[in-house]
Structures are given as C-alpha cells and as structure tokens.
C-alpha cells in the first residue's frame, strides 16, 4: 500500500497530510487558504493521488507559514509513500496549457533536494494569495520529498492561469514518476543501486 500519514506541529502551524499514491484524485482539503486548496486539488486530480490535508496556521499574520509548511508536510508524506522507489519510473515530465498559459514541470525522484524555478508572475497577487508562496510551497516540498524539480512557466498573461498550469503539470509529472514500470518491477532505477 503506497500510503502515508504525517502530522507536523509547530508553534506556527498544525498540519496533517494523508496521501494515497494509488488513488483516483479524491480530496478533502481544509487549509484555510482557498486558493491553495484549489491548487492542491489540481495535484491530486492530475496526479491521480488521494489527498487529505487539514491545516491550522497563523493566518492572522499571513499565509506564508501555512503554505510553506503544507509543502514540507506533503513532501514528507510523499517520500514515505514512495519509499525506496523500487519498480518506479523515477522520472516524470509534463507540459500543461490553460488557454494562453503554458508550463513545463520535470521531476526526478533523485533522493537529492533541488529546485530550478523559472516563473515570472504577471501580478503579485491572485485574489489575496501572494504569488511568492508558490515558490515557498514547492521549495518546502522538494526539500522533504528529496526530489529534483524543474518548473518553467513558458508563457501566460493571467496569474491564476500561470499558477494552475504549474500545479497541474506538477501533478501529471508526479503521476509519471511514481508510476510502476512493468519492465523493471524489482529494480531500483539507478546504477548506484539506491535512490
């Protein structure tokens, strides 16, 4: 069963994440940050993973701690759920458009945290959501999922569309990377023998 549940409590946030990598895209999201819920829904739907996230954060300050810590906790849950990565494809990539916007996301479940992020949002805010938090979310996730992640927003004139293509492409790329490779069922996909 490729499932995990992680609870992470600090003075700033209290977060529980449940993930099922072999799900169907079902979600129960209650983060207190509606735009983030909308984006997490994209990861689940396009990643075909079930995702339950409950977060209580210091939103009276702003959404920064909550969004970053959800990234961290989701990263921990993903790492636990995919385990030693035996039999997985390891690499995943996706291009996703939404009208005028287009993003490319490439994942390597390398065991090493690293992110290359080329995104210039056309606006600083989507509603009251600070677009800088997209970077904070993925940096937190990458650090704890121990993956290499390249995110490129290639074009877009609407910040909501830009963000949505990034999260959808991340879901699609993740789906590919965590998918079982039937030709290599008992193989850890590295010449090192571990990832």
Site for Mn ion in 28-87 (CB under 5 A): none
| Cross-strand pairs, 15 | 8, 55
- Confirm if 71 and 138 have CB atoms less than 8 A apart: yes
# residues near Mn ion by CB under 5 A:
1
| Cross-strand pairs, 18 | 5, 52
Provide the H-helix boundaries in 53-145: 64-82, 132-145
CB of 170 to Mn ion, least distance (A): 15
CB of 23 to Mn ion, least distance (A): 21
Strands 3-9 and 129-130: unpaired
CA-based nearest residue to 132, from 121, 116, 147, 145:
121
CB of 15 to Mn ion, least distance (A): 23
CA-based nearest residue to 70, from 159, 166, 137, 148:
137
Choose between 50 and 164: whose C-beta lies nearer to Mn ion.
164
CB of 20 to Mn ion, least distance (A): 24
Choose between 36 and 72: whose C-beta lies nearer to Mn ion.
36
Site for Mn ion in 125-184 (CB under 5 A): 164
Choose between 76 and 153: whose C-beta lies nearer to Mn ion.
153
Choose between 69 and 164: whose C-beta lies nearer to Mn ion.
164
Contacting positions for Mn ion (CB under 5 A): 164
């Amino acid at each position: 069963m490729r499932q995990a549940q992680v609870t992470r409590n600090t003075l700033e946030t209290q977060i529980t994440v449940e993930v099922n990598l072999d799900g169907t895209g079902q979600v129960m999201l209650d983060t207190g940050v509606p735009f983030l819920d909308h984006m997490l829904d994209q990861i689940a739907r396009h990643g075909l993973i079930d995702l339950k996230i409950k977060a209580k954060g210091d939103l009276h300050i702003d959404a920064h701690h909550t969004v970053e810590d959800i990234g961290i906790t989701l990263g921990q849950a993903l790492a636990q759920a995919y385990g030693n990565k035996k039999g997985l494809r390891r690499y995943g990539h996706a291009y996703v458009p939404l009208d005028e916007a287009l993003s490319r996301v490439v994942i390597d479940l390398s065991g090493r945290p690293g992110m290359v992020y080329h995104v210039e949002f056309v606006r600083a805010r989507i509603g009251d959501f600070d677009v800088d938090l997209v970077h904070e979310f993925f940096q937190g996730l990458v650090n704890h999922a121990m993956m290499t992640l390249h995110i490129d927003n290639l074009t877009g004139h609407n910040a909501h569309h830009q963000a949505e293509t990034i999260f959808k492409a991340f879901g699609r790329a993740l789906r590919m990377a965590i998918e079982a490779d039937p030709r290599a069922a008992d193989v850890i996909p590295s010449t090192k023998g571990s990832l």
